[in-house]
Structure 1
C-alpha cells in the first residue's frame, strides 16, 4: 500500500478512488454470473481495498468507525448483498457530499441531484435547509473507549439548535502522532480540542501512513511528562501545520494557572467538567469569525435598501438598465444583484478604500490574519499597481534597488517612476528551453558585496524578486533574506507573489512564502540561541568576499530588521474578480517609517471610484481560503500530479511530449538534496527538497516540452490548443507550453486536456506516416531546431555610462532608469535602427543605446530597458526567437534608440567625453532610417483627453515631472 500511496501528495483522491473501486468490486461480487476464480478475485480485491481504507478512515467523521466496522462485519460474514448495498449508500454520500447535512449515521443519497454543482442553479434563490448549513469536523485528542466516544458524539448532537449557522461532527484520536496525521489528511477539520489524557504514540499500525508520521514530534512528546507541556508541544506543531485551525485545551486542574501560561497557544482554555457547552458555542463562534465577510455583507445589505442617486453612477441599482428599451439583456446575462450592489457611496454602511474605517478595514484585517501578515491592503487594479504602490512608498530618487531582470514589467516601470538606480540581477539560464530560472543567492550576495566595497551600501534600499516565477521556480525565501540581512541589516524585500497567493494554504508551500518566512525569521532573530550562533561567527574572525559568497551568513540580531512586502494577484490563483489583488506587509518599521509614504503612494495609484464588486470578491475569497484553502490547494496539486502521470505514462503522448522534471529546470548545483523528482517520490522527499534546496519546483505547474512535435510553443498554443479546442494557457517558450492547475481545476478538466493532447499526437503521428521524403526531411529539421539547437539567452549587457553613477571607490552596475526613460520624451533624441544597422555600428566601435523597453512575448520579460546598450548576443537572441509579438519593436522601422547627439549631451552633463574607451557613440556615418509617422501618445504624462501632449521642451517636461533632477535641468 505504501508504494501505491507514493504517487500522492495528499490522500483525498486515493481515499475517494478506493471507495469507488470497492463499490464496483462488491457489485461484481453479487452478480449471479460471478463464480469460481472470478469470484475469488473479487473477494480478494474487496479485502485489499478494505485493508487500505482501514488505515485511512479513523481520520474522518464519515462514514465513521461504527459504519465502517459494520461494513467489515458484513463482508467477513459473507453477506455480500447487504455489503454491496451499504457501500452504495456510503460511496454515494461521499461522492455527493450529502453527509455534510450533519447526520453522518443516516446520510443517504437517493433523493440527491446527480449534478449538485450545476452553476446555472447557483443563481436560484431557494429556501435554506439544514443541508445548506456549512459543515465541518472537529478533532478531539484523547484516549477514549468506544462507549465514551459514542457518548461524546451524542452529547454534541444534543447541543445543536435549528438556528445554528454551522453543523459539525467529531473525529477522535488517542495520540499526538495521529492528531498530526488527521490534521494533514482531513481537510474538513476546522478546530482541535486537546484534552489532558492522550498518548505520544499510537498503538495502531501506522506503517501504511509512514509518509505522514512526524516521528520528531512523537519523540518530543515522549520526553515530557507534564500533560500541559505535551499539550503545548502538540499545539505548536498543529499551528505550524494548519495555522487556520482553532485550538482549544480542556483540563481538570489549575485551569486558571494553565490559561495564564498556555493561553497564547489556544483560542480558549476550559475546565473539563464545566465547559462542554461553552466549548461547543466557542467552536461555532470561532468558525463564524473566519466566516465573516464584513464588506461583502455590508454591500449586500446596501443593495436591498431603496436609495435616491443624485450624483455619479447612473447604473447604480440598475436604474439606467431596467428602464431601458435597448439594454435590458444586461440584466438577463449578469443578474439584477450585480447592479443592485453598484454604488459609488462610501457611507450608509459602506466604506472608503482610500480611508477605510468600517467594514472594509475589518475585511483587510481578517485578510491579514488569514495570510499571516501584519497589514493587508486590497488593490482593485491588479498586482501591476500593487508593485508600483510598494515601490513608490519605499524608494526615493537615487536609492539603489536590486531587481530581478526577468520580473514583471510593472517593476521596471515602478523603478522608473520612483527614480531608482537599478542593479539588475541575472537568473540562471535554461538555454535548452529558452527560459530563465531564478536568481542564485550567490549572484545577489556578490552584487551587495560589490556595492559595499564601493561605499554605496547605505544607498541600497530594496531588493525585489519574483516568487515563484512564471515557470514555477520557488526561492528559499527565508534563507535569501537572512543572508542578505547579514550584509545590509535594514534591506527591504519586495516579493512578487502574483502567481503564488494559494501557497499560504498548504503546509509545505507555506514555508517558502514571504509572510511565513518573515515571521519565522523574526522569531529566529529573537531566539537567544541564534544570538550565540552569531557571536560564534564573529569569533571566527573577518572573512574575505570569496569566503562570504560560499558561507551561509548570519545577520546581527541586534541590527537586522525584518522588512518584507508581498504582492499577490488573488484573482490569478484564488477566488476573486479580475484585477483583485492584495499587498501584504510584515515590516517592523512600517508604522514609524513607511505608513505615511505608503498612504500617499496608495492614494496616488488607487482610483477614487474603486469597483466594489472586486472588493467584495476579495472579502469572499479570503473567507474561502480561511475555511477550505487546504482542501482546495491539495486538490490542485493532486490534479497536477495526475496530469503529469497521464502524459508521461501514455505510450503515444510520451513519444512527442514530456513533462519537464525538477532536474530539468533546476541545475544540480542548486539542489543539495539531489532528489531529481521530489514531486513524484512521496511527500517526505518533497518536504526534504523544500527544506534543503536553494530552488524547488511548484508541483501545480506543468511545463510540457513539445519539441518532438515540430511545433514551436506559440503555434502549439494558438493553432492547436486555443483555436481548435478552446484550451487557454498563458505561457509558452520556443519549445514548451505551460499548464497551471488552480483551485478551480477539476479531474474532468484534466481528463479533457489529456484527451486533447492525445488527439493532437494521434493526428501528428498519422501525418508523419503519410509524409513524402521531402516533407519528412523538413519536419526532421524543425524537430532538430527545437530539440537539439539551444538558444543562448543573453545576459544584461549593462547601462550606458551616461546613465551610470560614477561615484564610489569602484564601478558598480546600477543605472538611472528614470533619466534614461524620460530622455526619449523628446523625439529629436531618438531614431529607429534595424538590427543590421545596429550590428554595423557595433562593429565600428559605437555604443547603441535603447530608448525604450523591448519585451518579446514569449518569454515576456524586457530584453532591453531604457539606457541599456545593445549587444550582439541580444540581437542574435531576438533574431532566433521568432516570436510575432514584441512590445517596443516596430517591424517596419526597427528599434527605437538614442541618437549620438542625445548621448553626447547627457555624457557632457556628467563630465563624460568618451564611453569606456570607445569612440563617441554614433561616430560612424550611416543612412538615416525613415521615421514612422507620429501617433497620439495617449499614455504619456500630460496628455489631454484626446491623447495630445502639449508642446513643451525637454527641460520643462523633466523639470515639471521630477523637480531637482540635475540631468534633466542640464538637458
Structure 2
C-alpha cells in the first residue's frame, strides 16, 4: 500500500508462501494506513481511501488472529471499534505498538501497553539484538492452545482461570489461545509457532468456521489420508491428539474427557502426556503444562557442564588449559583469554578425571542427553559424535559391514563413505545418479536403478551377501528421495536389507511437517507400524500371486510391496552443525534397527570406540544437547522461517527483469527429469500463478527439491562457479557459500538466515547485473565477442558427466555383477613400485581409444563438482579422461598436474591376478 496516495491493493493469497508471511505484511500495511490517516485526516479524500484499506486489512487479518494470543481477540475487536468510531489517534498508537512488538518479539518479554493513555517507555529492540545476558534473565514465553467450542463468556473464563494459576517462581510464562474445532486446532499449530502445548476439552466441533482462502488451502491437506469426516463426536478429542502428533510431534497434548478413562486408555493418543477426567483443576493443568515444557527444556549435559565450571578444583591432569590456568598465568597469550572469555576454559576438563560423563561409556548426563535426542529425532538410539559426520559414516559402516559383504552405494556420495568401504573391506556396487550435464552436477539414484542392481545380484545368487543400501538424503544440491518408497521396494526384494541414509544436510527436516515425511527415522517408525497390519499382508499376498514367474522388466515397472515379516533396519547420520545449532563437527547417529540389540550393538560400540577420540570436546557435546533443546521448542518456527527466506530469494530472482538477463534460478523441472515428477510440478513460484502447492509433491514424487537449496546458474555472467564464489561473492561482497559446479553456485538458507541477509543477497546480485550491463555497454566488439565466448563455454559447451565405468577384473569376483574390491585396490597403491603416472595428453587418449585398460590407483575428485570421478581399481574410460581434460577448476584432489594420473602398472595387476588364481 502507498500511504501517500492511499492506493491499496491487497496481494492475493498466491503472493504469499505462508500465512505467517501474510500476517506480518498485513500488520505492517495496517500500521502504514493508520499513520497515513493520522497525517491526512480521516475525512480527507486520501483519508477515506486509507480507511477503506484499513478496513480490508482488518477483515483479512481477523480469521488469522484467532490463532494467536497476542494481540488477542479482545484487543483486535477493540481496534475494529476504534476504526468504526474513527478514533484514529488511539487506533494508530495501538496498531503501531502491536506491529513493532510483533516484529521485534517484545511481546514475548513483557506486557505491551496498547492504550494511548499508557506510556510505553521501553524500546522495541529486536530480540536477536539483545545481549545473551539480557535475554537469559527473562523467562521464555510460549502459548497454549485450548480447543473448546464454548460461548465467549466461558472462553474468557478458561483463559483467565489459567492465567490466575501463574506464579512468580514459574520457569516460563505462557498465554492461552482458545479455538473451537479440531480443524482450528490443527490450523493453530501450523500457523502459530509459539504454541508448545494443546489442551483438548470435551465438546469440540469438527470443522472450522474461518473461510479465508489461505486457511482453506491448509485445511485441504490436514486430513489427507485421514477419515476425519466419518468420526463420531466422541472421537474428536482422541483424533485431535493423534493428528497433532503427526503434524508437530514435539508438542505436548492434554486431553480432558467426560468419557470413561477405561474407554480411551487403549486408544492411540499421539504425544498426549496426560488425560484429565471431566475436571477443571486449573492448577493441576497449569503444573502439567509447565512440566511438559520443562522436560524438553532440560539439557542434562550442558547443565552439568555449567555446574562443573563453577566448582573450585585443583587441576592435576593432562590439560594445562583446564580452568584457564595456562592462559591467565601467561604473559604472551592474554589475547586468547580476552577473545574467548573465561567460561570456555572453566568448562574444560579431562574425560577421565571424573565429575562429568564419558562419551565412550556414557552413564550420566551424556547418556540422558542422547536419550532426549532420540526422542526429539524419532530414533530408538542416538549417539553423539564430536568429529563430524565423516566419522559417523565410518562408524556405521564398520559396525555393520564385514569384509566381502556387498554394499550398494551412490557413486557421488561424500568421500567418507568411499573410505568407509575401504576400511570395511566391502564389495562395492556403485550406482549412477541421473546426470544433469548442463549444470555439471549429478541428481540422485532412481529407484529403478537400485532395483535393477538388486535383481541382478539375485540372479547371480549373491543376494544373501548384499548387506546395505547407502544413499544421500538430501543431496548437497537439495534432491530428496521418497524414502518410504525406496525402503519398501528394496525390502520386497531382500527383506533384511540395512539402509544407511546420509542426512548430513537434512537434520532440520524432522521439524517441518512436509519435510518429515521423507526422513529416515520417520519412515522407519511408519514401517514398523504398517508392516504389522492386515492390509500389508493382504497386499503382499496379492502381489506375490500377480508377479509369479514375472520377468525383471515387469518387476522393475511395478511398485513393490514389502513382506509383512521384513525387518526394519535403518541408520541415519546427521551433521547437526550444518543445519541446526551446534559447534563445528557436532554430529549425531540415529538408529532404528529391530536387530540392533541382538546383532549389532557390540560391534557398533567397538566401531564407535575405534573412531571416537578418547579426549572428546565437551563444548561440542554441550552444543548438541542445547541444539536438541532448541529444535524441540522452536525448531518448527525456525524451519518455517528458513523456508520462507529461500522462497523470498526464489521469487526475487524469478521476477526481477535485470537478474533474469544474467542469472537463472534452477527449478524442480531443471533438476528433476519429468519421469520422476509424478505431480508434474515445474517450479515453486510462477509470476503469473504465484506460489504453487508443494504439499502434494512431497507425498507423491520420486524426487523433490528442497526449497531451501537455491541453485543459481551463473554462466550468463561469463564467470565459472568457482570464480563467482571466491572473486565476486566472497572477496568483493563478503557473501559465503559452500558449493559450486562449473556454472552454478548454491545458496542455502538455514535456521539463522535473516530477512536482512536475503535483502543483501538480492542487492548484491542486482549490483553485479548492473555492473555487467555497464561493462557491456562500453565494451568493444572484440571485448563483447570474448564475453560471449566465455558464456558459450559455460552454458553451451559443458563437458558431459561420465558414468562410473567399472572395476578392473583384478578387483572383481566371478560373474556378471559389478561389485568391486575397493580395499585391495586402495592398499595395493601403497607400494610405490605398483604405480605409475600418466600425463593427460593426446597420447593417453589414443591408448584408451585403442582399447588399452588403464586402472586408477587413487581417488580423483575434481572440486567443483566435488564427487569422485575415479576410485581405486576403476578402469579409466575415454569419457572420464575427456571430462578431466575439459575441466578448468583449481583443485583436483588425488591428481598431480606435474605428474599426471596415478595408475597401476601392468605388472601390479598381473601379480594380483596371479595371486588370485593360485588362491582359487
Q: Say whether the fold is shared (TM-score over 0.5).
A: yes
Which one of the candidate residues 552, 564, 576 is aligned to 2:559?
A: 552
* Aligned counterpart, 2:583: 577
Which residues of 2 match residues 898-937 of structure 1 at below 5 A? 898-911=904-917
* Structure 1 residue 257 displacement after superposition: 4.2
* Aligned counterpart, 1:324: 330
* Aligned counterpart, 1:846: 852
Structure-2 separation of matches of 1:119 and 1:141: 35
* Aligned counterpart, 1:159: 165
Structure 1 contact 678–689 (Cα < 8 Å) conserved: no
* Structure 1 residue 457 displacement after superposition: 0.3
SS class of match (2:693) = helix
* Structure 1 residue 37 displacement after superposition: 3.6
* Aligned counterpart, 1:700: 708
Which residues of 2 match residues 15-26 of structure 1 at below 5 A? 15-26=23-34
Which one of the candidate residues 109, 122, 126 is aligned to 1:112?
A: 122
* Aligned counterpart, 1:292: 298
* Structure 1 residue 30 displacement after superposition: 1.0
1:501 aligns with 2:507: yes
1:865 aligns with 2:875: no
User: Which deviates more, 409-418 or 103-112?
Assistant: 103-112
Structure-2 separation of matches of 1:7 and 1:561: 46
Which residues of 2 match residues 152-231 of structure 1 at below 5 A? 152-214=158-220, 217=223, 220-227=227-234, 229-231=235-237
* Aligned counterpart, 1:876: 882
* Aligned counterpart, 2:5: none
After superposition, the C-alpha distances for 1:652-689 in whole angstroms (9 at most, x for unaligned) are 11111021110000010101111112466788721111
Which one of the candidate residues 811, 814, 824 is aligned to 2:829?
A: 824
* Structure 1 residue 371 displacement after superposition: 0.3
SS class of match (2:66) = helix
Which one of the candidate residues 406, 429, 444 is aligned to 1:423?
A: 429
SS class of match (1:889) = coil
Structure-2 separation of matches of 1:684 and 1:363: 40
Structure 1 contact 63–104 (Cα < 8 Å) conserved: no
Structure-1 separation of matches of 2:285 and 2:262: 16
* Aligned counterpart, 1:27: 35
Which residues of 2 match residues 583-662 of structure 1 at below 5 A? 583-662=589-668
* Structure 1 residue 226 displacement after superposition: 4.6
Structure-2 separation of matches of 1:354 and 1:693: 41
Structure-1 separation of matches of 2:868 and 2:488: 29
1:313 aligns with 2:319: yes
Q: 1:391 to 1:513 in 2, by over 3 A?
A: same
Structure 2 contact 238–267 (Cα < 8 Å) conserved: no
Q: 1:463 to 1:511 in 2, by over 3 A?
A: same
* Structure 1 residue 113 displacement after superposition: 4.1
Structure-1 separation of matches of 2:759 and 2:695: 28
Structure-1 separation of matches of 2:809 and 2:221: 59
Structure-1 separation of matches of 2:15 and 2:485: 29
Which residues of 2 match residues 221-620 of structure 1 at below 5 A? 221-227=228-234, 229-259=235-265, 261=267, 266-346=272-352, 348-540=354-546, 541-558=548-565, 560-620=566-626
Structure-1 separation of matches of 2:209 and 2:847: 79
SS class of match (1:355) = coil
Structure 1 contact 293–619 (Cα < 8 Å) conserved: yes
Structure-2 separation of matches of 1:215 and 1:198: 20
Structure-2 separation of matches of 1:357 and 1:847: 55
Structure 1 contact 156–280 (Cα < 8 Å) conserved: yes
Which one of the candidate residues 10, 21, 40 is aligned to 2:18?
A: 10
Structure 1 contact 102–168 (Cα < 8 Å) conserved: no
- Please, which runs of 5 or more residues in structure 2 have no aligned partner? 1-8
Q: 1:676 to 1:127 in 2, by over 3 A?
A: closer
Structure-1 separation of matches of 2:513 and 2:812: 44
SS class of match (1:911) = helix
* Structure 1 residue 256 displacement after superposition: 4.7
* Structure 1 residue 33 displacement after superposition: 7.0
* Structure 1 residue 8 displacement after superposition: 3.4
After superposition, the C-alpha distances for 1:265-291 in whole angstroms (9 at most, x for unaligned) are 521001232532211101100000000
Structure 2 contact 318–350 (Cα < 8 Å) conserved: yes
Structure 1 contact 177–215 (Cα < 8 Å) conserved: no
Q: 1:723 to 1:32 in 2, by over 3 A?
A: same
* Aligned counterpart, 1:956: none
Structure-1 separation of matches of 2:119 and 2:316: 53
SS class of match (1:494) = strand
After superposition, the C-alpha distances for 1:612-639 in whole angstroms (9 at most, x for unaligned) are 0000000000000000000000000000
* Aligned counterpart, 2:3: none
Structure 2 contact 301–369 (Cα < 8 Å) conserved: yes
1:783 aligns with 2:791: yes
Structure-2 separation of matches of 1:687 and 1:588: 31
Which one of the candidate residues 792, 816, 822 is aligned to 1:811?
A: 816
Which residues of 2 match residues 761-780 of structure 1 at below 5 A? 761-780=769-788
Structure 1 contact 180–214 (Cα < 8 Å) conserved: no
Structure-2 separation of matches of 1:226 and 1:29: 48
* Structure 1 residue 911 displacement after superposition: 3.1
Which one of the candidate residues 48, 65, 86 is aligned to 2:73?
A: 65
SS class of match (1:764) = helix
Structure 2 contact 243–270 (Cα < 8 Å) conserved: no
After superposition, the C-alpha distances for 1:392-446 in whole angstroms (9 at most, x for unaligned) are 0000000000010000000000000000000000000001111100000000000
Structure-2 separation of matches of 1:362 and 1:490: 30
User: Which deviates more, 268-277 or 429-438?
Assistant: 268-277
* Aligned counterpart, 2:6: none
